[in-house]
A and B are shown apart, each in its own frame.
Chain A
């Protein structure tokens, strides 16, 4: 059974129209991450939640926001998608304590902006 679930798998949105991607986990991990992966590139961290604490990467555009209403769910909001935001968006979770677990990834949401 999938432990990190992302919906939808494919999302097409219009230029400038807000879009929300969702992620849920059944692992009860304390940290949830959103990575952006453009074609033929490595995943790049946008931000993460350490429990309820939101941590933004310095170079993440303001256009990207996130919400974590509870331990299990995390959302990625793109307020005004541009053509350059077309990418695979990967959600991941891990348990970060004195000893870190590996990160578990969802199947990703492939975003197309038209």
Chain B
């Protein structure tokens, strides 16, 4: 069965601190996709990154970086020099990608609420 675990329910940091959000996943598929979404108080889920299971390269986008390690089934997200505008709920998600079960549906973790204080 597929499952995504975000063990950190809430994290509070002071502006300019670095913060890492953890994500651990379970799947029996060899081909799958991993995602991070940001949900600000307005409610819309904003796409941040997609990673397929064959691409273990880490990625950096501005202050955001992602570390994908298949050996530990983890896909962690780091925000460098956090800002107040980063305050939101962050969801890690998984979707399978092969065969008749390929629907693109997302299995979400429980989310991590990040509060960045000025």
What is the interface of chain A, defined by CB distance below 8 A to chain B?
31, 33, 35, 41-45, 48, 50, 55, 88, 90, 92, 94, 96, 99-108, 110
Given contacts A42-B91, A42-B111, A100-B33, contact A105 B44 (CB under 8 A): yes
- CB pair A88–B43 under 8 Å, yes or no, is yes
Contact of A103 among B42, B102, B104 (CB under 8 A): B104
How far does the alpha carbon of A71 sit from the alpha carbon of B105 in the complex, in Å?
A: 18
Contact of A102 among B47, B105, B110 (CB under 8 A): B47
Q: Which chain B positions have C-beta within 8 A of A35?
A: 106
A104 B104 Cβ-Cβ under 8 A: no
**5 closest A-B pairs (Cβ-Cβ)?**
A42-B108, A105-B45, A96-B104, A94-B104, A107-B44
Contacts of A105 in B (CB 8 A): 37, 44-47
8 A-B pairs within 8 Å (CB atoms) are namely A33-B104, A44-B108, A90-B45, A100-B97, A101-B104, A102-B50, A105-B37, A105-B47
Within 8 A of A (CB), among B84-118: 91, 95, 97, 102-106, 108-111
When chains A and B are docked, how far (Å) is the Cα of A110 from the Cα of B37? Answer: 19
Is B35 at the interface (CB under 8 A from chain A)?
yes
Q: How far is the CA of A92 from the CA of B106 in the complex (A)?
A: 10
Which chain B residues (16-73) contact chain A, with CB distance < 8 Å?
Answer: 33, 35, 37, 42-47, 50, 52
B44 pairs with A106, CB closer than 8 A: yes
Shortest CB-to-CB span from B54 to chain A, Å, is: 11
Q: A43-B45, A88-B43 are in contact. Are A100 and B110 (CB under 8 A)?
A: no
Are A42 and B103 in contact (CB-based, < 8 A)?
A: no
Among B37, B47, B50, B105, point to the contact of A33 (Cβ < 8 A).
B105
Given the interface pairs A41-B110, A42-B109, A42-B111, the reply to whether A100 lies near B104 with Cβ below 8 Å is: yes
Hey, which chain B residues are within 8 Å of A94, CB to CB? Answer: 104
Give the most central of B33, B47, B103, B108: most A CB within 10 Å: B103
Chain A residue numbers with a CB within 8 Å of B45 are 43, 90, 92, 105
